[in-house]
């Protein structure tokens, strides 16, 4: 079974620029998550999709971050404009359902450096 795919793996941009990350979840997984992991911290949930609907985006900085999941499969996360404090690893995860006990499978992440 193929895992969660993310691209790019690394990205370096200057502050105020825009950037987009892509995630392809495991086939058949209805739920998709985006996490932000700042160096030295645990992952923090940014947004959760159930199929192509948003379940939880309470911790997404909506003034600069946006995410979409068209057709309930792939997802993109965009930052516009980026700030220095956005430097982090952005992890995508997917699960079969969205209930407790549904295992989340994580992708390798995209490491973003904002200069």
Partner 1 sequence: KQEVTQIPAALSVPEGENLVLNCSFTDSAIYNLQWFRQDPGKGLTSLLLIQSSQREQTSGRLNASLDKSSGRSTLYIAASQPGDSATYLCAVEYGNKLVFGAGTILRVKS
Question: Which residues in this chain contact partner 1 in the complex, by CB under 8 A?
Answer: 3-4, 40-45, 48, 55-56, 91, 93, 98-101, 103-109
In DSSP terms, 34 is beta-bridged to: 47, 92
| Cβ closest to partner 1, residue 81 vs residue 96 | 96
Q: Tell me the C-alpha distance between 55 and 48, whole Å.
A: 5
User: CA neighbours within 13 Å on the CB side: how many for 29?
Assistant: 30
| Cβ closest to partner 1, residue 86 vs residue 94 | 94
| Cβ closest to partner 1, residue 45 vs residue 81 | 45
Least distance in angstroms from the C-beta of 92 to partner 1: 8
Q: Tell me the C-alpha distance between 102 and 105, whole Å.
A: 10
């Amino acid at each position: 079974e193929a895992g969660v795919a993310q691209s790019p793996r690394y990205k370096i941009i200057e502050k105020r620029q825009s950037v987009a990350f892509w995630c392809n979840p495991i086939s058949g997984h209805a739920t998709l998550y985006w996490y932000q992991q700042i160096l030295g911290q645990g992952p923090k949930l940014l947004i959760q999709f159930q199929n192509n609907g948003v379940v939880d985006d309470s911790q997404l900085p909506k003034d600069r971050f946006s995410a979409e999941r068209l057709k309930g499969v792939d997802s993109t996360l965009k930052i516009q404009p980026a700030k220095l404090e956005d430097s982090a690893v952005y992890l995508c995860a997917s699960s079969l359902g969205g209930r407790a006990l549904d295992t989340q499978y994580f992708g390798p992440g995209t490491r973003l450096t904002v200069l």
